[in-house]
Structure 1
Amino acid sequence: MKTKALLIIAFISPIFSSQAATLLTHNGDSNFNQIHSGKEFCQIEMKQNKLVKACMPLFNFDKNVKLAAHVEGREDGVKVPPNSSYGFYDSTPKDSMVITVTNLQSQKIIYSDVSKHMQGLKCNGNYCVPWK
């Protein structure tokens, strides 16, 4: 039942779904460089979009390697370019989501575990850690 409700939201509002597409690139001129944690990332996103009740960002801080991320239970995934972030969102409050992160250059899984709400992950081509 919850899945159907999320799918309806996705069709009503293409900007927001259980896996909203928010890809932010980090560069020297961006205010995004001032965000130092997943919590800060989520606070900004949740302030801008009141439908967001769960937020698990992924920050790819690698300068060369593109990462792929997939949320358990979802068919689609996302590619996160070097020095970029992607926010995984849900309209239903959740404490966490299981996310698998793959290094697209080596095709190796570098993380497959829980990503916590208001924290997320900070990754490079070799590993991920909580984005505290």
Structure 2
Amino acid sequence: MDTWTIVTIILWIGIIAWGIWELVQFFRRKNAATAIENDEFKQNMRKVQIVDVRGKDDFDAGHILGARNIPYMQMKQRFGELRKDQPIYLYDDKKTISYRSALLLKKNGFDNIYVLKDGYSKWDGKIKRKKSLN
């Protein structure tokens, strides 16, 4: 075999391994939380911990009423702020970061984790915006 054939084989093995890794991670994230619709989210939101995992600027621009902001990038340092005996409702703009946060929480002993199915971008309930100083 020539050098290009060996390089091509190694490249394909790397691509396949990466694809398998991503697939495993996808299912791990999906199993870490249950997706819920807007109606179920609204129905139970007074009995749960609502966490917005977006950045502070996005949170200040508008968030679900009653939510607290724990950005995904700070979740490892701040998950201790959450109670393990109450359900946790997570959301972000879509749902990708919410599932990553759910996996991190699951690894740290949290159960009853839920993700807003279509994210904040499709939320039709009450929101709060930070008042501008102007």
TM-score by length of 1: 0.24
Q: Max radius of gyration: which structure? A: 2
Q: Structure 1 or 2: larger strand share?
A: 1
Higher relative contact order (CA 8 A, sep 6+): 2
Relative to total residues, which structure has the larger helix share, 1 or 2?
2
